[in-house]
Amino acid sequence: MTLFSRIVGTGSYLPPRRLTNADLVAELAAKGVETSDEWIVERTGIQARHFVVDGVNSSDLAFEACKQALAAAHLGPQDIDLLIVATSTPDMVFPSTACILQHKLSQLSPQAAGIAGAPAFDVQAVCAGFVYALSVADAMVRAGNARRALVVGAEVFSRLLDFNDRTTCVLFGDGAGAVVLEASDTPGILATDIHADGKHVGLLCVPGHVHGGQILGDPVLKMDGQGVFKLAVGVLEETARTVLAKAGLQDSDLDWLVPHQANIRIIQSTARKMKLPMDKVLLTVAEHGNTSAASIPLALDAGVRAGKLQAGQLVMLEGVGGGFAWGSVLFRY
C-alpha cells in the first residue's frame, strides 16, 4: 500500500503582550528612534505584533501550539512518534528545542510520557523553516519511519532585534504554530519543493555566535530590505510553479495560498504573478508581523479556525528566508 501523509490537526499560540504600531512607535521614540504607524503600514502592512516577556522561550510557545494541534486531531502526546521544531531562536545552543518540547509534552499526563523515545530534532531554515520541517516529516511518514508527527514553527524573534534600527525592529514578532501529520492511504500532501543558495547569506543574517563564553560578532538581525524583496518575489513564484507542476496541477486549481507573512508587498506580488485574487490568500501579517518559521502555521491555523479551509480544498504553503532558503508544500486539506 502506498503511504501518504495528511494534516489532521492545527494549533497556534501568540504571547499575550500585543504591541500595536502606536505602542512600538512610543517605545522607540523614548530611545530617540523616529518612525510612524503610517510609515510601517505603507511599507509592510503590519499593524501589530506580539512579544514574549522575560523567561518565556520558543519551547514554551511551541508547547501551547502543540496542545491545540493535538486537541484538534483528538490525539495525545503519546500518539506522536516524530517531533520536528523549525526555529531560528532555540532555547539553548543545545539540546534542541524539540527535545525540550518533548519533555514538556511528556509531563502533560501519565499517558503522555509515551512520547519519550520518539525522534525529536530542530530544523534551521529561518522563515522557510516550517516548509522544510513539513517536507522532512512528509518524507519520513511516506517512508514508513513515522506514523504521526508533530511539526512546529516557533520563534522569539524579539530577542534578535536592534531597536535602534527602525528598518528591521518594526517587522518581527513572536509566536508558534503546529500541525499534526498522520499517515494515510489517501493523498494529503501532494508535493514538496525546497531549495537554498548560500551566496545570499549576507542579505539577511544574525552574524553573532558564542565563543569561549563570549558573544563574537553582532548578535542582532541585519537585513538588506531591497535585496530580500527582489530575491523573494522571484523564488516564491518559481517554487510555486514547480510544486504545482510536480502534482500535475495549475495556478487556477488552487483554493488557498498560505504564504510566509513577511511583507504585504511580497505577498501581493506573488499572488499577482500567479493570477490569484487576494481573497484566496490567508493573511495574518497585519496582526502578527513576521514571525519567521512560525508565520505559515500561525496563518494556516487562523484560516482553519475561521472556517475558511474546507475538506478537499487545494492549499499551498510557501516561504523564503535567510540562507537564502525557500520552498513550498502543496496539499489537500
Query: Which sequence positions are flagged as catalytic?
Result: 127, 260, 290
Sequence letter at residue 17: R
Rounded Cα distance between 15 and 174, Å, is: 7
256-259 and 314-321 beta bridge pairing: parallel
Q: Tell which phi-psi region holds residue 131, choosing left (phi > 0), alpha (psi between -120 and 50) or beta.
A: alpha
Q: Which residue has the cell 541585519?
A: 222
Distance CA(2)–CA(141), nearest Å, equals 11
User: What is the bridge-based pairing of β-strands 82-86 and 120-123?
Assistant: parallel
DSSP code, position 78? G
Q: In the structure grid, which three cell numbers stand for residue 292, read together?
A: 519567521
CB count, 10 Å around CB of 244?
23
3-class DSSP state of 112? helix
Q: Three-state SS string across 166-230, please?
A: HHHHCCECEEEEEEEEEEECCCCEEEEEEEECHHHHHHEECCEEEECCEEEECCCCEECHHHHHH
Strands 208-211 and 256-259, sheet pairing:
unpaired
- Within 8 A by CB and 6+ apart from 113, the residues are 78, 106, 107
Residue 54 carries which side chain, given as an amino acid letter?
D
